[in-house]
């Protein structure tokens, strides 16, 4: 096999077949992936959840993860937040001509490891190659199917007095990627990139009535919480002092002119729970390896309808808007 | 709204939301797409087929279609060839900074029209924006779910004496795109891009025992037929004189140094059927608007195991190998 990807590997002919046989199948193999040409037969269920994401993160490799790990975790997490048990993924590569096989191999290996951890299978895929200068190394799309285990999660369920929880330190992923991109503070901050289906399962098994779960990726905690209440008669009030932020993430954000509340997370979730459920949800998070630093960070209120506000550490209060521009382009 | 896409539209914040609300939802709206944040709940079934494709065609607009139409038809066709009734699509855009909104609108409109024709719904999606020079206008990924209606299609069913059919003229798509790319013979040849689920349904309703259906996209008829027999004890023998090729496609291919048998099709299918089914399959094709020029073009034989051969118009015989390089990069 060559050392770098040429356009021929996107031809749909012999070279594409060789790429799949030699590089991709050895690590991602399963009966459904081998079975059919352009599609995979999977077992359905009564209600399914279907989700997709394209990943264009730059750089491709960063402390705590890479684009391959991200592409599996991202779609697994989207399915999990909908109350589904993630089952099957598709995977499609858009590769820039000249991309090194060695990096593609690392990425595929990383996807394989995450699939095993998350208990999902990649069952169908596609590979395209574009000319040098028409891409940026590699872009990956994954789509996913999950079986709906907990119907009814959604912002419509939120009530005044509900508690807002986060499963751990915020802003790690966005900060880690920005530092890697700027080659600053090498290795001090790692992305939190992780598959959250185990954590959501743990939460929903003790508190099936939880209102909503959501992973605050692009746009961060502040944007996601805004989405919960915008256009409704309810607001959310955060307490700054309760929001877990690593000191080194805060320092890096200060240096880069960023706000951790708007930085992407890839291994954290936000939950809104009724007051009587909040402690159960918190305990379930803290008992799970991905939620040891979980905290109750705020409350649903009728005071500022449609708004996300925060009581600052100094006793003031401010409105946190949705992210309006691209604070951090190509973060996932 | 601005006139061109800036990086901000990929932020996951306000601008991304506006893009979705103003440009995408008005044409693709359906209850499942609106319902949930990052995933859609769809009805499952006993057995589902799951497929994905990324589309990187260049140019984005060509006679007979555009990247939007292609991205819907391509995945609908992959599902159909597996014996499934296509139901739900996901759609993910990777847009290059500076891309005109007007073109994105044309593409989304084109996707909406094809979804209606094919009877499928786009139920979930994602949008990423990359910097100028890190993409090429727009790349689209679609993944699709279909309900398996006709299990058991596949190359393993092929028997000696089986007939090989094609649903119409070959090489139209590849030739049309290459001419558009080189700005030659403007408008004389149109892509055959079309959703084939109606045609496969028509075939399978009269001949449920058909061995295999496949759409010969990248790599063309010659590569797809090679895949049917490679590594098996059977070969396929084509008759050149019976293969429908438009004279203007043949002329364009001669000029461009291409072979229509290796040019991509996006609205044609190959079928292998038992001798007693072949005429029924042919009639079903000819009665369908997308199969009026269908023909029986060859036969399965034990003479050349694993090989695709062709009796030429001059009475000779030659082996048609799988496409080895990229005859036509970025054709879909």
In the three-class reduction of DSSP (H, G, I as helix; E, B as strand; rest coil), residue B171 is classed as: coil
Do B147 and A330 make contact, defined as CB atoms within 8 angstroms?
no
Length of chain A in terms of residues written: 332
Q: Which residues of A touch B98 (CB under 8 A)?
A: none
Superfamily name and number for A155-319: PurM-like C-terminal domain (3.90.650.10)
Kindly state whether B309 is in contact with chain A, defined as any CB-CB distance less than 8 angstroms. no
Residues 255-284 (B) with a CB less than 8 A from some CB of A: 264
- Rounded Cα gap, residues B102 and B65, in angstroms: 16
Do B141 and A12 make contact, defined as CB atoms within 8 angstroms?
no
pTM, rounded to two decimals: 0.91
Q: What is the pLDDT of residue A187?
A: 73
Interstrand relation of B84-96 and B138-148 (parallel, antiparallel or unpaired): antiparallel
Q: Which residue from B minimizes the CA distance to A57?
A: B130
CB A100 within 8 A of CB A108: no
A231-246 average pLDDT score: 97
Q: What is the pLDDT of residue B229?
A: 95
The mean pLDDT value of chain A amounts to: 91
- Rounded Cα gap, residues A117 and A198, in angstroms: 10
Q: What is the pLDDT of residue A245?
A: 98
Q: Which residue from A minimizes the CA distance to B152?
A: A36
Print burial letters for B120-151: b (CB count within 10 Å at least 16), e (below 16): bbbbbbbbbbbbeebbbbbbbbbbbbbbbbbe
Distance from CA of A6 to the nearest CA of B (A): 9
Between B48 and A283, the higher pLDDT residue: A283
Q: What is the pLDDT of residue A171?
A: 97
Query: What is the 8-class DSSP label of residue A239?
Result: E
Question: How high is the ipTM of this complex?
Answer: 0.89
Q: How many CB atoms lie within 10 A of CB B247?
A: 7
CB A233 within 8 A of CB A304: no
Between A12 and B177, the higher pLDDT residue: B177
Backbone φ and ψ for B72, nearest 5 degrees, come out as -80, -50
Residue from A43, A52, A133 to probe the interface with B (highest B Cβ count within 10 Å): A52
Which of A265, A145, A289, A160 shows the shortest CA–CA distance to A214? A265
> Chains A, B: CB contacts under 8 A, how many?
287
CB A90 within 8 A of CB B52: yes
pLDDT of A35 over the 60 cut:
no
- Rounded Cα gap, residues B45 and B53, in angstroms: 23
Q: Which of A13, A154, A327 sits opposite B322 (nearest CB)?
A: A13
Residue ranges covered by each domain of chain A = 7-148, 155-319
Q: Which residues of B touch A37 (CB under 8 A)?
A: 78, 81-82, 214, 227
Q: What is the pLDDT of residue B237?
A: 98
Find how far residue B218's CA is from the centre of its chain.
Answer: 9
Residue from A1, A8, A11, A325 to probe the interface with B (highest B Cβ count within 10 Å): A11
pLDDT of A37 over the 60 cut:
no
Q: Which residues of B touch A44 (CB under 8 A)?
A: 44-48, 147
pLDDT of A152 over the 90 cut:
no
Q: Which residue from A minimizes the CA distance to B127?
A: A54
Residue from B5, B7, B12 to probe the interface with A (highest A Cβ count within 10 Å): B12
Do A43 and B47 make contact, defined as CB atoms within 8 angstroms?
yes
Residue from B50, B80, B151, B173 to probe the interface with A (highest A Cβ count within 10 Å): B50
Name the class of domain A7-148: alpha beta
Which of A108, A200, A99 shows the shortest CA–CA distance to A146? A200
Residues 87-126 (B) with a CB less than 8 A from some CB of A: 88, 90-94, 123-126
pLDDT of A20 over the 80 cut:
no
- pLDDT over 70, % of chain A: 93
- Rounded Cα gap, residues B116 and B111, in angstroms: 9
Which of B91, B265, B104, B248 shows the shortest CA–CA distance to B177? B265
Kindly state whether B41 is in contact with chain A, defined as any CB-CB distance less than 8 angstroms. yes
Q: What is the pLDDT of residue A39?
A: 65
Q: What is the pLDDT of residue B12?
A: 67
Per-residue pLDDT of chain B (332 residues; tens, 9 = 90+): 678 877 777 666 777 777 777 777 777 677 766 654 566 666 666 788 999 999 999 999 999 999 999 999 999 999 999 999 999 999 999 999 999 988 998 999 999 999 999 999 998 888 888 999 999 999 999 999 999 999 889 889 999 999 999 999 999 999 999 999 988 877 789 999 999 999 999 999 999 999 999 999 988 999 999 999 999 999 999 999 999 999 999 999 999 889 999 999 999 999 999 999 999 999 999 999 999 999 999 999 999 999 999 999 888 999 999 887 655 788 89
- Rounded Cα gap, residues B206 and B125, in angstroms: 36
pLDDT of A162 over the 60 cut:
yes
pLDDT of A236 over the 50 cut:
yes
> For residue range A197-208, what is the model confidence (pLDDT) as tens digits?
999 999 999 999
Confidence of residue A77 (pLDDT cuts 50, 70, 90): very high
Residue whose pair of structure tokens reads 């290996």 in the numeric block: A109
Q: Where are the beta strands (DSSP E) in chain A?
A: 40-43, 47-55, 61-62, 65-66, 84-96, 121-130, 138-148, 163-166, 212-214, 235-239, 270-273, 295-301, 308-311, 317-319
Q: Which of A12, A145, A330 sits opposite B323 (nearest CB)?
A: A12
Distance from CA of B149 to the nearest CA of A (A): 11
Between A1 and B180, the higher pLDDT residue: B180
Q: What is the pLDDT of residue B326?
A: 59
Q: What is the pLDDT of residue B32?
A: 63
- Rounded Cα gap, residues A329 and B12, in angstroms: 9
pLDDT of A38 over the 70 cut:
no
Q: What is the pLDDT of residue B36?
A: 46
Q: What is the pLDDT of residue A36?
A: 46
């Amino acid at each position: 096999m060559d050392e770098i990807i040429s356009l021929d590997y996107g031809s749909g002919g012999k070279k594409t077949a060789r790429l799949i046989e030699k590089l991709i199948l050895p690590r991602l193999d399963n009966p459904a992936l081998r079975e059919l040409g352009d599609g995979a037969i999977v077992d359905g269920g009564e209600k399914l959840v279907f989700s997709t994401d394209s990943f264009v993160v730059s750089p491709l490799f960063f402390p705590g993860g890479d684009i391959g790990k991200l592409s599996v975790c991202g779609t697994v997490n989207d399915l999990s937040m909908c109350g589904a048990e993630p089952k099957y993924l598709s995977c499609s590569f858009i590769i820039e001509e000249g991309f090194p096989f060695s990096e593609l191999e690392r990425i595929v290996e990383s996807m394989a490891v995450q699939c095993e951890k998350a208990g999902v299978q990649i069952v169908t895929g596609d590979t395209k190659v574009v000319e040098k200068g028409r891409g940026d190394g590699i872009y990956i799309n994954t789509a996913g199917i999950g079986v709906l285990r907990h119907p009814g999660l959604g912002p419509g369920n939120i009530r005044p007095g509900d508690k807002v929880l986060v499963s751990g330190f915020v802003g790690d992923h966005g900060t880690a990627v920005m530092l890697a991109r700027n080659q600053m503070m090498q290795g001090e901050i790692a992305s939190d990139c992780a598959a959250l289906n185990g954590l959501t399962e743990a939460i929903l098994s003790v508190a099936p009535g939880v209102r909503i779960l959501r992973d605050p990726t692009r746009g961060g905690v502040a944007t996601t919480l805004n989405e919960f209440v915008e256009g409704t008669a309810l607001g959310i009030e955060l307490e700054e002092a309760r929001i877990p932020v690593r000191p080194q993430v805060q320092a890096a954000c200060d240096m880069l002119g960023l706000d951790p509340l708007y930085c992407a997370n890839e291994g954290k979730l936000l939950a809104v729970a009724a007051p009587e459920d909040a402690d159960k949800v918190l305990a379930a998070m803290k008992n799970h390896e991905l939620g040891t630093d979980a905290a109750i960070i705020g409350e649903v209120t009728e005071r500022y309808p449609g708004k996300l506000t925060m009581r600052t550490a100094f006793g003031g209060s401010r409105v946190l808007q949705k992210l309006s521009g691209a604070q951090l382009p190509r973060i996932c």
